[in-house]
Amino acid sequence: MIVSVAKETELKENRVALSPDGVKELVAKGFSCILEKDAGLNSYFTNEAYEAAGAKIVSKDEAFSTADVLLKVAPPVSDEVKLMKNGATLLSFMYASTNPELVAALTTKGITSFSVDAIPRISRAQKMDALSSQANLGGYKAVILAANYLGKIFPMLTTAAGTIRPSKVVIMGAGVAGLQAIATAKRLGAIVEVSDIRPETKEQVESLGGKFIELKSDESVQIEGGYVKGVSADFLLKQQELIAKHIAQADIVITTALVPGKKAPMLITEEMVKSMKFGSVILDMAVKQGGNCAISEFNNTVVKYGVTIIGEPNLPSLLPLNASELYSKNIVAFLTHLADKDKFFLDRDEEITKGSLITLNGEVVHPSVNINIEAAATN
């Protein structure tokens, strides 16, 4: 089975799907590995390092057209799918429920596809959980990036000239990214306050030294597998009212709230931004899905009402070496769960396979992907 690693073409995407160590592991298991030339350079992996690990360096056309299995980080665009051979298999982030053009292109080529963002978050799939590995790095980088724009230090500092008060950081969402952001901000010496609508996160927040901003859930809050699947507009309004005073006193606000397959919930209104201190910073980690802040801008850092608002959509890509190393471990674990060197097992009753399989030989099989293939293909 030929496993191919494509060079990422999405704007600002510096990661690569497989590290040299990942190549070495797959080759040891009997897979053949090819790599599009320079695919790893932005992650600080040279072509020579891949060759030493057992990969063959090839052109873009060969990387796509000869692959039995194509590995990517970002979803391939339609023109890239056209380069794939009929009946090949794709493993990448796909976000299939909101990416009908990609799904339509895959059906046209008879592609079998697995989406790493759809891997069930169960204990035996932890080694494959790319969402968590990347969010962990994103939470760290969010704090570092926000600190870079803040005109003051995080910790309390007592000097002969007087005492500097510690910065206050408000983090909205205590998932994987939020928890890492809490830990990072605390290590840098900030006072950290955290808002999350899941009461079970309170203990985790407090164990990291954060102060939990408590808001009681109501029947509109839909939680599945520990993750929020939906909330009502009324509940969001209550949350905004509760956190408004905390945001007004904050030096940095980091928002991490996402609802899979839907627009990100609006947590910070324009009026709340106006209430913030001059020189404070907002980092909107949900900007790629519409944003948690009403006036954040995708892929832009702007200053509005004296507040710097960072709309960086791909924080893990700013740490491409570590992000690629972790993603590679995830993808190797995922691939070797699904296949050996000769074939895919495709047990559609097995939980990980069932949850992540989007198309099978070009047929849409995932229940969350409810799209009009013909309409998508025409666009």
**Contact of 8 with 73, CB cutoff 8 Å:** yes
Distance, CA of 109 to CA of 5 (rounded, Å): 19
Active site residue 222: no
Distance, CA of 30 to CA of 132 (rounded, Å): 28
Helix axes 20-28, 320-338, angle to 10 degrees: 20
- Residue of 44, 61, 124, 126 marked catalytic: 126
Active site residue 227: yes
Distance, CA of 192 to CA of 179 (rounded, Å): 11
Distance, CA of 97 to CA of 286 (rounded, Å): 17
Record the tokens describing residue 304, joined without a space: 């509005």
- Residue of 117, 129, 251, 284 marked catalytic: 129
Backbone angles phi, psi at 180, to 5 degrees: -70, -35
- Residue of 32, 65, 132, 275 marked catalytic: 132
What letters, b where the CB count within 10 A reaches 16 and e where it falls short, cover 170-186? bbbbbbbbbbbbbbbbb
Q: In terms of Cα–Cα distance, which of 328, 327, 295, 333 is closest to 311? A: 295
Amino acid letter, residue 119: I
Scan for tokens 């702007």, then name that residue: 302
Active site residue 129: yes
- Residue of 198, 227, 240, 249 marked catalytic: 227
- Residue of 21, 32, 65, 121 marked catalytic: 121
* Residue 346 CB neighbours (<10 A): 14
Active site residue 132: yes
Distance, CA of 1 to CA of 68 (rounded, Å): 6
Backbone angles phi, psi at 162, to 5 degrees: 135, 180
* Residue 372 CB neighbours (<10 A): 10
Residues acting as catalytic residues: 121, 126, 129, 132, 227
